[in-house]
Homo-oligomer: A and B are copies of this chain.
Amino acid sequence: MSDAYDQLIERVREIGRMEAIEALLDWDQETCMPPRGVDARAETTAMVAAMKHERRTSPEIGELLDQAGDGGEPERAANLRETRRLHERAVKVPTELVRDIAHTSALAKDAWVKARADADFSAFAPHLSRLLDLKRQQAECIGYETELYDALLDEFEPGARTAEIAAVFAALRERLTPLVRELAEAPTQPDFSILQRDYPQAGQEQMARRFSIEMGFDSEAGRLDVSVHPFCTSMSPGDVRITTRYDEHYLPAAVFGVMHESGHALYEQGLQHEHRFTPMGTSISLGIHESQSRMWENLVGRSRPFWERHYAWAQEVFPEALSGVDLDAFHAAINTVKPSLIRVEADEVTYNLHIVVRFELERDLLNRRLEVADVPAAWNRKMAELVGATPSNDREGCLQDIHWSMGVFGYFPTYALGNLYAAQFFAAARRAIPDLDDRIRAGDLGTLLEWLRANIHRHGMRYRPDELCRQVTGQPLAIEPFMDYVNAKFRPIYGLA
């Protein structure tokens, strides 16, 4: 029995190493690869993806899973459970359909780039229709309890159910929409323009690196580079790479961007080396991953204690921009809440509403309750209703995100789950570390990191996301910790009771 398990794990590690190769191919393409390398790289990447799918679905893995059985001590049980889940998901989908989706997505991504540049949804619509057809087929192959969307969501947030998410989002929507309106009409309004002054890149780099290191990012086990779209990727817990971009007239992009990606990176660096390339050495879900990035970016990085420690130094780094700005004004500026059109630039309060818009639309699309041709109108209507901002064209509306063009449906909710988990985990951390604010004020971020390591990072995929949440916080996922957090933080900034 043990023999079958060991053999299985060796096969699983091979798949994990292929994923590390994919990560390197992608990282290199975004940061280093010369432009003319693109054709050969596309071929190479496609080959690795095909090899990975072949391994994942190999009858040998099925047989070894049968022989190894279930259960055993927790780490073994987790490796078996997750390997079985991925194998069963993969074998249900015919290779022909996998190839179709890959091919259609490649064309769709291309069409999306053009359609977006032209702000013309109609040029992208036929691609979206084809992708939706294929994804519906995929979901039917995989199977689901209640609705199609479950099967797709499960890829990114194992075990999550559409109906539960819909309920959470409905509650969020109900609580956030009035808050956004209240903040917009509040007596005190931050001066956001402070952040749009001259911030030389060298200073931003210095600041971003300092915060990242203070968070605990191990630069012997990772690196920071520049790319057009910031991301975090991992080749192993000893090799975790983050990227950022610099805008000399917008401070938050790099500073909070690097804190965000460093949050992801701390999770990856905190996975157990000896479990690398297996589920026990892999992050649990996108929602939990996003909870780490958002916690460091927002609950730490945009907190008052954090800037009480760093603001005097920030003024030294950017004397021209900040010498006449006091800490309160700066703290208010980095916490400006404002209905806006672009998700990736949204503040903490409106961000989740952007996600609700996408979730409701993609769910309706898959369930055929919304026609592809009606997407722009539906998008604009929902944006006006939920966020309070109406796009003037499709580029700043329904064409802004790349996800659908890549055939990715069911991913968006994980962003909002990340925000909710972040607040819920942070509240639990605060209970475990009662002087957490004082520690942050004193530059001690290590105590929080240690808590995250012990309670979240080191477990890899040992627990399902909902199990982890109950175990760490004593509760299932809820919106209250998030609502408590935003109310406690933003109402005072805006001069509200």
Interface residues of A (CB under 8 A from B): 13-14, 17, 20-21, 24-25, 28, 32-41, 43-44, 47-48, 218-223, 235-239, 273, 276-277
- Please state if A24 and B17 are interface contacts (CB–CB under 8 Å): no
| Given known A21-B21, A24-B25, A24-B28, contact A235–B48 (CB-CB < 8 A) | no
- Please state if A34 and B219 are interface contacts (CB–CB under 8 Å): yes
Please pick, from B33, B220, B277, the residue contacting A36 in the complex, using a CB distance under 8 A. B220
List chain B residues, Cβ under 8 A from A20. Answer: 40, 44
List chain B residues, Cβ under 8 A from A220. Answer: 34-36
List chain B residues, Cβ under 8 A from A222. Answer: 34
Minimum CB distance partner of A239 in chain B: B37
List chain B residues, Cβ under 8 A from A24. Answer: 24-25, 28
- Please state if B14 and A235 are interface contacts (CB–CB under 8 Å): no
List chain B residues, Cβ under 8 A from A40. Answer: 17, 20, 235-239, 276-277
List chain B residues, Cβ under 8 A from A276. Answer: 40
Closest 9 CB pairs of A and B: A37-B239, A40-B236, A36-B238, A36-B221, A17-B44, A37-B238, A17-B47, A35-B220, A36-B220
Query: Apart from A17-B43, A21-B48, what 15 extra A-B contacts exist at CB < 8 Å?
Result: A17-B40, A21-B44, A32-B32, A33-B235, A33-B239, A34-B220, A34-B223, A34-B239, A35-B220, A36-B218, A36-B220, A37-B236, A39-B238, A40-B236, A40-B238
Closest chain-B Cβ to A243's Cβ sits at a distance in Å of: 12
Please pick, from B14, B32, B34, B47, the residue contacting A238 in the complex, using a CB distance under 8 A. B34
Minimum CB distance partner of A14 in chain B: B47
Minimum CB distance partner of A19 in chain B: B44
Complex CA gap A306/B397 in Å reads: 58
12 A-B pairs, CB-CB below 8 angstroms?
A17-B40, A20-B40, A20-B44, A24-B24, A24-B28, A28-B28, A34-B219, A35-B220, A38-B238, A39-B238, A39-B273, A40-B238
Minimum CB distance partner of A44 in chain B: B17
List chain B residues, Cβ under 8 A from A236. Answer: 37, 39-41
Complex CA gap A24/B214 in Å reads: 32
Complex CA gap A365/B14 in Å reads: 39
List chain B residues, Cβ under 8 A from A43. Answer: 13, 17, 277
Complex CA gap A28/B235 in Å reads: 12
Closest chain-B Cβ to A238's Cβ sits at a distance in Å of: 3
List chain B residues, Cβ under 8 A from A35. Answer: 220-221
Complex CA gap A337/B223 in Å reads: 43
Complex CA gap A37/B219 in Å reads: 11
Closest chain-B Cβ to A267's Cβ sits at a distance in Å of: 16
Minimum CB distance partner of A222 in chain B: B34
Closest chain-B Cβ to A53's Cβ sits at a distance in Å of: 15
Closest chain-B Cβ to A130's Cβ sits at a distance in Å of: 27
List chain B residues, Cβ under 8 A from A219. Answer: 34
Complex CA gap A329/B462 in Å reads: 71
Complex CA gap A142/B238 in Å reads: 40
Minimum CB distance partner of A276 in chain B: B40
List chain B residues, Cβ under 8 A from A34. Answer: 219-223, 238-239
